[in-house]
A = this chain, B = another copy of it.
Amino acid sequence: MKKAGAPYLLFLGDVQDELSIKGCTGVTIWRPEKAHAQIRLEGGTQDLGLPNMAPAEAAAAGCQTMLVGVANAGGFVPEAWVPTIIAALEAGLDVMAGMHKRMADIPEIAAAAAANGRTLFDVRQPSQDFKVGKGYKRAGKRVLTVGTDCSLGKMFTSLALEKEMLAQGLKATFRATGQSGIFIVGEGVAVDGVVADFIAGSVEWLCPENEPDHWDVVEGQGSLFHPSFAGVSLGLLHGAQPDALIMCHEPGRPHMRGIPGRALPSLEECIEANERAAHLTNPAARVVGISVNTSAMAEDEALAYLEETGRRLGMPCCDSIRTGVGPVVEELAKI
């Protein structure tokens, strides 16, 4: 896919809760230089603290893309948003969104994009054709975030790793595999939207061979232990062909996400299963660090948990926000 141009005009729609605009929030946290301006509709109450600009004004100020980083219940584009999307296209902006329903399937939007020579990035639906994965060894190094469950910080950890690796002088590139990650860097593959035959192949495409000392930091998805999504996680693991894995975890979850009654696996079990599965395409793959989301814990409790877990598993154990991922990156630097 073509890369979405920056900076962005962040479209906040008419929503009133913070969670719904997290597609925009991720950009302000991880790529603040891309977050140039915001636009709200009548009734919207969210505010990222950016200048409010109409599409034409944003285009004149240098914006390249309007990001519709807003979630709604049905996953469709509400009618109230359409005029602003069309205005953005007419102002010369590309438009990026991640709804279930594609913008390109809405005739007025498709027509406005065509008439103005603009690109619609419907990032949830991979647009290109992939080949099947082959698993042949390729140059460059790759680290993949994996997890005991879904939605516990794999994207956040991956972005923190990239930032810290660059700070420590390593060559590193974050590779997005979900819509929020794609919004942040402007490109990637929403792996869970790929046709099943091409899961591994799409990831081989996403992180192709590279310089021997370059690291791709590949964002993981799901969990080998999640009964809904393990197939995605396994294909991603094989396609990424990682040299190193970082295990992500959130203590205290009552059950696997979306599956009441199903307990999370232990870290030990999850490490063993991921290493074993990874060996199919990289026999040297191993888990070199743990990233724990301790946001629900008090400081003392969190630090004790990190210390105890790291000692028990014999590897650095961090929280990407509370402590940073420095020690994990030091392990990567040895590979």
B200 touches A192 (CB 8 A): no
- The yes or no answer to A295 lying at the interface (CB within 8 A) is no
Nearest Cβ in chain B — how far from A208, in angstroms? 15
A262 CA to B136 CA, complexed, in Å? 9
Q: Which residues of the partner chain B approach A277 to less than 8 Å between Cβ atoms?
A: 230
Would you call A132 an interface residue if the criterion is a C-beta within 8 Å of the partner chain's C-beta atoms?
yes
Q: How far is the CB of A122 from chain B (nearest CB, A)?
A: 14
Q: Mark A134-170, 1 if CB is under 8 A from B, else 0.
A: 1110000000000000000000000000000000000
Give CA–CA (A241, B120) in the complex, Å. Answer: 40
Residues of B within 8 A of A238 (CB): 227, 230-231
Is the CB–CB distance between B228 and A132 below 8 Å?
A: yes
Q: How many residues of A contact B (CB 8 A)?
A: 34
| Residues in B whose Cβ lies below 8 Å from that of A193 | 195-197
Q: Are A192 and B192 neighbours in the complex by a CB distance under 8 Å?
A: no
Q: How far is the CA of A86 from the CA of B280 in the complex (A)?
A: 47
Q: Count identical subunits in the complex.
A: 2
Contact of A134 among B231, B259, B280, B281 (CB under 8 A): B259
- A172 contacts the other chain (Cβ, under 8 Å)? no
Tell me the A192-235 residues at the B interface (CB within 8 Å): 192-197, 199-201, 225, 227-235
Question: Least Cβ distance of A125 to chain B in Å?
Answer: 9
Q: What chain B residues lie within 8 Å of A233 (beta carbons)?
A: 231
A273 to chain B: closest residue by CB? B276
**Is B230 touching A200 in the complex (CB atoms < 8 A)?**
yes
Question: Contact string, A120-136, partner B, CB cutoff 8 A, digits 1/0?
Answer: 00000000000011111
In the complex, what's the smallest C-beta–C-beta distance from A49 to chain B, in angstroms?
34
Q: Which of B135, B191, B196 contacts A194 (CB 8 A)?
A: B196
Quick one: which of A275-334 are within 8 Å of B by CB? 277, 280-281
Which residues of chain B are within 8 angstroms of A134 by Cβ–Cβ distance? 227-228, 258-259
A-B contact pairs, 20 of them (CB 8 A): A132-B229, A133-B227, A134-B258, A134-B259, A135-B228, A191-B196, A193-B195, A193-B196, A194-B196, A195-B196, A196-B196, A196-B235, A199-B231, A200-B227, A200-B229, A201-B228, A230-B238, A230-B280, A231-B236, A231-B238
